Every structure is written in C-alpha cells, then in structure tokens.
Amino acid sequence: MKTLIVTADDFGDSAAVNEAVLRAYRQGLLRFASLMVRRPAAAEAAALARAEPGLGVGLHLELCAEAPARAGLRYAFSPAARAGLEGEIRSQIEALLALGIRPTHVDGHMNVHVHPVVFPALCRLAREYKIPRVRLPRGERGPNLAYPSPEPRLPRLLLAGVFDALAAALAGSARGLEVPTTWGLLRSGRMSEDYVVWLLGRLPEGTTELYFHPHADPATAVSDGRTTPTHQSYSELETLLSPRVRRALEESGARLRAA
C-alpha cells in the first residue's frame, strides 16, 4: 500500500505562512505542519491548529536561522555547543507543549536536524516525549534526476548523495520511530504543480512524505528554476490547492494520511 504524508514547514514564522497553512489544509491536500516555536507568529499558529484538530502539528526544530553548514561545524567541533544541544531541543519541545500542541512528528529548519550529532539526540528525546515520527530526507534522487528539467544535474546529484548517505548512517538512531521516505529536498521552495504530479506518479510502496513551504502573498510566487530566500512561496500554496495534483494523487492509488 502507498501512503502519502503532506507537510508544510515554517508554520509560525509569519501570519502569511500561517494563512497559507490554513488554506492548504482546508482547501487542499495539506494534513500536517511543522511549527517553529521561536518565531513571532508561533502563538497564532498554535491557536489556529487547536481550532483545527484534524491538522497534525509537529516541531520544526530551529538550531540556526541561516547557514546550516556553519551550525553543523559548531556542533561537530564545539564541546560547549554539543553540551547544550539536548537542553535546546528539549526546551523547544516543551515550548510546543506549552502552546497546547501534542506533536505528531519532528523535523528541522534547513534540515540541520540530520547532522550526525543532532539526529541521535533528537531521536532520544522524540522517544522520551512519545513523538512518533521523525524526518530523514532520502530517496528523491531517482525521480528528481529523471524529471525533465534544464537545471544542472551535478548539484542535485551531490546533495542527494550526501543526504542518502546520512540517512543510511543515521537510520539506527531512529529505532522505534517512524521514518518515512521524504521528498522535497531537491526542489525545496520550487515544489511546482508539474513536479509534484511527476512525483505522485512515482511513489514507492510504503509511506512517503512530501514537504512544502507555502506562503499566502502572491508576490512570493516563483518561476521554475528560482526560489525565495526563505523557500516560502505562493507557488507552493498553489500546488497544494491544485485540482490537477489532487487528481494525480487519486490516480496514484496512494492514501492521504490524516492526523
């Protein structure tokens, strides 16, 4: 059986992201959102989620606002950073609980949670707090490279290779947790209608997560090959609302998972 999880990242970042999440849930395929508890619109996001119990909400762990490579080096080489890591993850989980949200999953901003130091700590705390699912991006290389696109192949191949290798090395840390195949990394911020229809026609057996960064402002719309600095875009909201995407999901035979 094929099962699809559709998630929006950056919930709580701004009122425009919150509006996009709500629209995509009420009118489109979105069923899960990952909330940033340190952002200005986090309390608003939590209030919206509490009013929509069918929307599953998890933690979008934030360990860097930008430059994930720099954050990765800090956790690799700074004993002080490593010593404070579990406390920071715990504080963000507790902040989400304090907002009245029981997390359905956990993932990370800019995927910094997949760092070899961070991921085991995150999984330990997920088990402690009984958070059932964790994101580990993997498996998108084949369908992405086969997608007809003028974009250079080498950067995508290298990025996919790094994350597939990390997934293989870190999978043991997630024992007892659900770790679905996760796609969205290789076109982050550019999950267009055409690309998502392409992916839906190639879903593997089992559970696959597709993740998005929707935004409610039409000024953030992007064309193919471009993205916004935050990866948030109106174009991804349009994809989540697309009747064509919904038809492709139905034709795929996959079940859309609800919270």
pLDDT of residue 71: 67
pLDDT of residue 229: 86
H or E stretch covering 47: helix 42-50
Cα atoms in the Cβ-side hemisphere of radius 13 Å centred on 185: 31
pLDDT of residue 64: 72
pLDDT of residue 78: 74
* Pairwise CA distance, residues 227 & 125, whole Å: 33
Which residue carries 């953030």 as its tokens?
A: 220
pLDDT of residue 138: 94
Answer positive or negative: Cα dihedral of 113, 116, 118, 124.
positive
Task: Work out the angle at residue 109's Cα, subtended by the Cα atoms of residues 227 and 113, and round it to the nearest 5 degrees.
Answer: 130
pLDDT of residue 80: 75
The answer to whether 105 and 134 have CB atoms below 8 angstroms apart is yes
H or E stretch covering 6: strand 2-11
H or E stretch covering 225: none
Output the pTM of the full model: 0.94
The answer to whether 116 and 135 have CB atoms below 8 angstroms apart is no
- In the chain the domains, ranked by start, together with CATH numbers, are 2-256 (3.20.20.370)
pLDDT of residue 65: 62
pLDDT of residue 162: 93
pLDDT of residue 84: 83
> What is the per-residue burial (b if ≥16 Cβ within 10 Å, else e) of 21-30?
bbbbbeebbb
pLDDT along the chain (259 residues), means of 10: 97 98 98 97 98 97 73 69 87 98 96 92 98 96 94 93 94 97 95 97 97 97 83 97 98 96
